[in-house]
């Protein structure tokens, strides 16, 4: 059930990122799904987290129009690095949150710039670097806010899940 909830939130973020934000602004400020991947890496175990991240990456690759595998590769590497980093360093701080979101933006843009360099566009590299810098600024401002919203969404989902489970067992929920 946890995997389903995380996958639904990923789908919601993808719809917001591909449908709503382009209608309001000229381009997406930064990849909203990166915040979801960071949240997944910091709050789910390895196996369910990998399933969620793979689903998110494949969905983003299929709907974005970018070279297939760009998002899946970026998301999986970010997930692996965060999972290993948290296990080794035992760190759950706000500093890690900022670093993780910004590292995700950098990683995703490095993969995209590698794809551009293989394509041979000189002008595209400069534009890609400008776009990456703009994404870093937006992510530094909006990333932690979005992470906090995810924390509220998932805590409300967990509470409603406990209430539903208690009702199914015939008992009363503890509020």
What per-residue confidence (pLDDT) applies to 120? 63
What per-residue confidence (pLDDT) applies to 48? 94
The reply to whether the predicted model has a pTM over 0.85 is: no
Residue pLDDT tens, the chain, 175 long: 688 888 888 999 888 888 888 788 767 778 889 889 988 988 889 999 999 999 999 999 988 877 788 889 889 999 998 888 888 876 667 777 778 888 888 888 888 777 777 766 667 667 777 778 888 888 888 888 888 888 888 888 777 767 766 777 765 555 5
138-166 pLDDT tens trace: 888 888 888 888 888 888 877 776 776 67
What are the sequence ranges of the domains in the chain?
A: 2-148
Residue 32 · residue 17 · CB < 8 Å: yes
Residue 136 · residue 106 · CB < 8 Å: yes
What per-residue confidence (pLDDT) applies to 118? 74
**Measured distance CA(170)–CA(5) in Å, rounded:** 24
Tokens matching residue 173? 């929920």
Tokens matching residue 127? 């534009």
Task: Give the single-character DSSP code of 67.
Answer: P
What per-residue confidence (pLDDT) applies to 2? 83
Q: How many CB atoms lie within 10 A of CB 160?
A: 11
């Amino acid at each position: 059930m946890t995997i389903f909830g995380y996958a639904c939130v990923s789908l919601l973020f993808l719809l917001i990122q591909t449908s709503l934000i382009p209608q309001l602004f000229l381009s997406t400020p930064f990849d909203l799904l990166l915040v979801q991947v960071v949240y997944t890496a910091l709050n789910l175990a390895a196996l369910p987290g990998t399933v969620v991240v793979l689903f998110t990456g494949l969905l983003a690759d299929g709907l974005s129009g970018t070279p297939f595998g760009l998002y899946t590769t970026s998301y999986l590497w970010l997930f692996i690095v965060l999972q290993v980093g948290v296990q080794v360093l035992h760190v759950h701080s706000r500093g890690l949150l900022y670093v993780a979101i910004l590292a995700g933006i950098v990683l995703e843009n490095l993969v995209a710039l590698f794809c551009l360099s293989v394509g041979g566009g000189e002008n595209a590299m400069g534009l890609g670097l400008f776009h990456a810098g703009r994404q870093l600024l937006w992510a530094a401002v909006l990333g932690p806010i979005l992470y906090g919203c995810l924390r509220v969404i998932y805590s409300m989902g967990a509470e409603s899940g406990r209430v539903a489970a208690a009702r199914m067992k015939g008992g009363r929920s503890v509020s």
